[in-house]
Structure 1
Amino acid sequence: MVLPASLRILARLLVVATAALVVSCGNGEQGARITVGAGDSVESILLAEIYAGALARTGARTSVEPHLGSRADYLSALDAGRIDLIGEHSGALLAFLDTTARDRTPEHVGRALSKSLPEGLVVTDAADGTDLRPRVVLSTETATHDNVRTIADLAPRCDQLTVGVAPVPDLITLPPALEQVADCAFAATLPFPDAEALRKALLDGRIQAGLLTGPPAVVPGSTDGLTILSDDTYAVRAENVLPLLRKGALDERRIEKLNYVAGELSTDDLATMIRRIRDDRAEPAEVARTWLDDHSL
């Protein structure tokens, strides 16, 4: 049957109106674009890709803005509304916001951090499986000879020891104040350019203790011949990964998605992914996508 011209025009208008309604509804579901920021470290860029990818799977429109600079720079970007979300470390962020804070355990750090956040910023769940604290190390020969297995064992003799400090690369940076160990005042502190130089100095006996600014798994082989001292009492302040975001930037469903990510992320996962990006030149977005798929996120 051939429709009259007036009915054909009406039919076309209805099709256009229906299509516009569908697009409108789709945009309403996605809402405003969520911009996830990142500092300059590999870890920060990786976390941004993980968070952006996870949120995109809720239907959100997301983008990543990398290379925002230092902690002060990306906090300014959050404050200005240039970004909505960024990955952080709990202890380092607390130290930056409150230089007088003395809290060390994950629970206490979390509470103190929530109180210290500027108006308009909030955090979601910390990833309990991530432990990015600095590690105190001794040569295995020394640790065995002196029967030292924990930082608490070492504390009574710290004032007799020279400690070397070396950075673990590609992690979100720590404020210098966190390169310290509670109740352990070393006689002297020497900086080293990297973990390998620190390891050699320990094995040669030029220093008696070492402090790596993050988990050694990021730099394989960095603790060969060394013993990592356990720290169940948190002489070194807790450092867990967590998202920092603008209040109201995410609805409950998307906050829950980030909490699922926090429940799955581990220190070993982060170290493995950082090495893939740094050593194998893998794309951060692809590494993040694989991890999300592997964890059904």
Structure 2
Amino acid sequence: MVLPASLRMLARVLVVATATLAVACGNDDGGARITVGAGDSVESSVLAEIYAGALARIGTRTSVEPHLGSRTDYLAALDAGRIDVIGEHNGALLAYLDTKAADRIPEHVRKALSKSLPEGLVVSDEADGTDLRPRVVLNAETARRDNIRTVGDLTPRCGALTLGVAPIPDLIALPPSLDRVAGCDFAATVPFPDAAALRKALSDGQVQAGLLTGAPAVVPDSADGLTTLSDDDYAVRAQNVLPLFRKGVLDERQIKKLNYVAGELTTDDLAKMIRSVRDDKARPAEEARKWLDGHSL
């Protein structure tokens, strides 16, 4: 039987409506949209895109809210529900939440941070392969002459030394209380605008020890001519990347995905992405996509 033209038209409309409804229902299966925030650093922007991209690959609807400002600003956005997830450093976040905390070793920092988090905020696994601690440095010639290889070797001498402090840019900011070395009471501390100025001051003898406020790999020439002292005892507090998020917004599968990210991310990976965004004007989202692809995430 041949349908009249009007009935054939109605049938086509119903087919289109049914397909549209099916797509809409399919989108609802992804649950609520997860908004990942980014502060004012390149690192924060890269982490936001990595987390958002990783969650999107398991079907989560995600968006990134950039340029949220300082730690105070983006934590306020998290508290207000404007964002759901933000990348952080465990040690820096602990220092911000509990100014009296003295914990420095990763497992101790983990426990102390868990106790210090405000009601309604939680963290998942930190990226053990990321070590973004400040680094204690000496002029290479001085380190050889005095046979100083570790922060422990330096500790007995600190009281007679002047420490120079220089920032490593584009990382999530450290609270000022972390620009120090446990067990070292230096005679004086002098700030410098960048690593180049600190290197010159060490070479000229203006200061006898230096502190770079993050991993030198972020600025590859920052430690040229310097010896970076090993710090296996964590005289400088642990600084590992981890996601901070509102309790209840992520399900078990989504948290597991972020834990996979934590298991793969390294200092060198993160430094390379930061340099690409800063120096080559790459887009954070593109760097995150390439990293996720390269790690089958």
What range describes the TM-score normalised by the shorter chain of this pair? over 0.9
- Distance in 2 of aligned mates of 1:48 and 1:104: 26
- Distance in 2 of aligned mates of 1:156 and 1:112: 29
What pairs with 1:207-226 in structure 2 (closer than 5 Å)?
Answer: 207-226=207-226
What pairs with 1:137-286 in structure 2 (closer than 5 Å)?
Answer: 137-286=137-286
How far 1:220 sits from its partner (Å)?
1.3
- Distance in 2 of aligned mates of 1:86 and 1:10: 49
1:49-84 per-residue CA deviation (whole Å, 9 max, x = no partner) reads: 111111111111111111111101000000000000
How far 1:193 sits from its partner (Å)?
0.2
Task: Tell me the TM-score normalized by structure 1.
Answer: 0.96
1:59 aligns with 2:59: yes
Name the SS for the 2:29 alignment partner: helix
Identity %: 78
1:106-165 per-residue CA deviation (whole Å, 9 max, x = no partner) reads: 111011111111111110110000000000000111111111110011001100000000
For residue 99 of structure 2, what is the aligned residue in structure 1?
99
- Distance in 1 of aligned mates of 2:85 and 2:19: 33
Give RMSD over aligned pairs.
1.4
Q: What letter matches 1:158 in structure 2?
A: C
Name the SS for the 2:32 alignment partner: coil
Name the SS for the 1:86 alignment partner: strand
- Distance in 2 of aligned mates of 1:7 and 1:271: 64
Provide the aligned length of Structure 1 versus Structure 2: 297
For residue 125 of structure 1, what is the aligned residue in structure 2?
125
- Distance in 2 of aligned mates of 1:49 and 1:196: 31
For residue 37 of structure 2, what is the aligned residue in structure 1?
37
- Distance in 2 of aligned mates of 1:21 and 1:176: 54
- Distance in 1 of aligned mates of 2:281 and 2:219: 16
Q: Which runs of 5+ in 1 are unaligned?
A: none
How far 1:5 sits from its partner (Å)?
7.0
Name the SS for the 1:30 alignment partner: coil
How far 1:3 sits from its partner (Å)?
2.8
- Distance in 1 of aligned mates of 2:25 and 2:103: 47
Q: What letter matches 2:221 in structure 1?
A: G
1:229-250 per-residue CA deviation (whole Å, 9 max, x = no partner) reads: 0000000000000000011111
- Distance in 1 of aligned mates of 2:140 and 2:177: 27
- Distance in 2 of aligned mates of 1:120 and 1:8: 56
Name the SS for the 1:122 alignment partner: strand
